[in-house]
Amino acid sequence: MSIDPTLLDDLEWRGLIAHSTDLDALREAFTTGSVRFYVGFDPTAPSLHMGNLLQILTARRLQQAGHTPYALVGGATGMIGDPRDSGERTLNSTETVAEWVQRVRRQIEPFLSFEGDNAATMVNNLDWTAGLSTIDFLRDIGKHFPVNRMLARDTVKRRLEAGGISYTEFSYILLQSMDFLSLFREHGVTLQFGGSDQWGNITGGAELIRRAEGATVHAFATPLVTKADGTKYGKTEGGALWLDPEMMSPYAFHQFWLNAEDEKVPELLRLLTFLPREEIEALEARHAEKPFLREGQRVLADEVTSLVHGAEETEQAKAAAAALFGGGELSALSGATLGAALREAGVVRVPAGELPTVVDLLVDTGLAKSKGEARRTIAEGGAYLNNQRVEDPEARPTADDVVGGAWLVLRRGKKKFAGVHVG
């Protein structure tokens, strides 16, 4: 097995280490053999999101450098959920969590290799908690956690100030810390990493191993990725930046990264792509000189979308964007891609049969405020049906105009478009 001695240097250059225990000790461990490490994912939703993606890609970097991943999907911790500042989580049913565990596992698996000397292992913390008695849990785990330290955690303090926290969520740190201890004992795992918002839980596990086993282990946390104004980057207007294509289409995913803020592009390229340092630095220089060309955004969108959804979906997303703005053939797009792209812009439904006039459709889709405005748009040459300019104010689409199995594409000018679902 080949170990990459430059791994930690690369992680630091990319800005992937926000907190750490002992970097010198970790550097030594990284260069003397394959380190067994773990990163955890709680199934508190049916899909992972952008914040989880950073952890998955970091695990992939470590495996490619010769280290051995344990990907933990928390069938136990997912039934409780890490405490949030916003208040108590709604507890999901056992059946729901079990289903989400399987969905999350399937999302993680393509990013890691499960073959070779440093093959990845998928684990579920329900395996070592389901049969654990309360007495054993309190004696073997709870004994090592001073309550005053737990009360000093930032999230706990904020929740207490805001009205309180349940014992269930207060105890979450014990469960996650036990994960590290269990993996240390059963698999020889000596490194945990996760997001910086998990740093208290991560160090809790390292401290538990020190107290229970008298051993020293390693830990680091990746940064919280935010927008230029400091708000979380993992949200869109419609909600979280989901990795599941059924919850966020590859087209919408690609568009999200295309719209990244200029000042954030260098950071995102380093964190979320596997492009080599020389290539990223050259791209950063070109981006800084001519940000209006948006080369950085295009590379970022292509790279991240290909990692998550595959190169074919990336090409479909690019083709859809080009076609919708008049630069490509709509008929070349799959119905799924075309529909996903149009839903982002807005869609109206009309029954099959005799279809409304283009004037009516311009009004129905909101591209024109009135029929008079719609007619003026047509007269001025600014109305398009499936990228063909509409010249007749009485024009009415027919079944032959339907593309992608069920769609009409209306456009006003160069940038405003909407979809009509027929049927």
Question: Rounded mean pLDDT of 358-372?
Answer: 91
Question: Is 101:75 a contact under the CB 8 Å cutoff?
Answer: yes
Under DSSP, is residue 288 helix (H, G, I), strand (E, B) or coil? Answer: helix
Other CB atoms within 10 Å distance of the CB of residue 245 = 18
Q: Count up the domains in the chain and report the number.
A: 2
pLDDT at position 233: 64
Question: Rounded mean pLDDT of 389-403?
Answer: 89
CA distance 228 to 246: 29
Q: In what order do the strands lie in the sheet with 68-73?
A: 19-20, 218-222, 191-195, 36-41, 68-73, 121-124
Helices 311-324, 250-258: crossing angle, 10 deg rounding: 70
pLDDT at position 152: 81
Is 255 domain-assigned?
no
Q: Which residue has the higher pLDDT, 150 or 61?
A: 61
Residues 42 and 182 in one domain: yes
Structural domain that includes position 384: 346-423
For the CA atoms of 228, 231, 234, 236, the dihedral, rounded to the nearest 10 degrees, stands at -90
- Which segment of 77-86, 190-199, 286-295 scores lowest on mean pLDDT? 77-86
Question: Is 312:245 a contact under the CB 8 Å cutoff?
Answer: no
Is 381 domain-assigned?
yes
- Matching residue, tokens 């269990």: 182
pLDDT band per the 50, 70, 90 thresholds, residue 100: very high
Q: What's the pLDDT tens digit per position in 39-68?
A: 999 998 999 999 899 999 999 999 999 999
pTM above 0.85, yes or no: yes
Residues 46 and 186 in one domain: yes
| The last residue of a domain, from among 224, 257, 292 | 224
- Looking up residue 399, the CATH number of its domain turns out to be 3.10.290.10
Is 239 domain-assigned?
no
CA distance 202 to 220: 8
pLDDT band per the 50, 70, 90 thresholds, residue 232: confident
What are the φ/ψ torsions at residue 16 (nearest 5 degrees)?
-90, -5
- Which segment of 35-49, 73-87, 107-121, 269-283 scores lowest on mean pLDDT? 73-87
CA distance 1 to 22: 25
Question: Rounded mean pLDDT of 90-107?
Answer: 94
Ordered DSSP codes for 57-77: HHHHHHHHTT-EEEEEE-TTG
pLDDT at position 231: 78
Q: What's the pLDDT tens digit per position in 315-341?
A: 999 988 888 877 778 888 888 888 888
Question: Rounded mean pLDDT of 236-244?
Answer: 76
What are the φ/ψ torsions at residue 66 (nearest 5 degrees)?
105, 5
Alpha helices in 233-353, H assignment, sequence order: 250-258, 265-272, 277-289, 295-309, 311-324, 335-345
Other CB atoms within 10 Å distance of the CB of residue 36 = 18
Question: Is 69:62 a contact under the CB 8 Å cutoff?
Answer: yes
- Matching residue, tokens 């969520």: 169
pLDDT at 235 over 60: no
Q: Which residue has the higher pLDDT, 152 or 246?
A: 246
Of 273, 280, 258, which is closest to residue 308 (Cα–Cα)?
273
Average pLDDT, the chain: 91
Task: Look up residue 98 and give its two tokens.
Answer: 């079990």
- Looking up residue 134, the CATH number of its domain turns out to be 3.40.50.620
Question: Is 76:23 a contact under the CB 8 Å cutoff?
Answer: no
CA distance 297 to 390: 33
CA distance 66 to 87: 41
- Matching residue, tokens 């229970």: 212
Alpha helices in 214-262, H assignment, sequence order: 250-258
- Matching residue, tokens 């405020």: 369
Task: Look up residue 232 and give its two tokens.
Answer: 């979380």
pLDDT at position 321: 87
DSSP letter at 381? T
- Among residues of the chain, what percentage have pLDDT more than 70? 98
pLDDT at 348 over 70: yes
pLDDT band per the 50, 70, 90 thresholds, residue 35: very high
Question: Rounded mean pLDDT of 357-368?
Answer: 91
Residues 218 and 353 in one domain: no
What are the φ/ψ torsions at residue 119 (nearest 5 degrees)?
-60, 145
Is 185 domain-assigned?
yes
- Which segment of 227-241, 250-264, 297-311, 352-366 scores lowest on mean pLDDT? 227-241
Helices 265-272, 50-64: crossing angle, 10 deg rounding: 50
pLDDT band per the 50, 70, 90 thresholds, residue 213: very high
Is 246 domain-assigned?
no
pLDDT at 237 over 60: no
pLDDT at position 336: 85
Q: What's the pLDDT tens digit per position in 242-259?
A: 999 999 999 999 999 999
Is 216 domain-assigned?
yes
Other CB atoms within 10 Å distance of the CB of residue 49 = 17
pLDDT at position 234: 59
Is 259 domain-assigned?
no
Q: How many CA atoms lie within 13 A of 47 on its CB side?
A: 14
CA distance 412 to 389: 10
Is 335 domain-assigned?
no
| The last residue of a domain, from among 158, 193, 224 | 224
pLDDT at position 345: 80
| The last residue of a domain, from among 198, 224, 250 | 224
Query: Residue 320 contacts by C-beta under 8 Å, 6 or more apart in sequence?
Result: 251, 333, 337, 338, 340, 341
Residues 214 and 358 in one domain: no
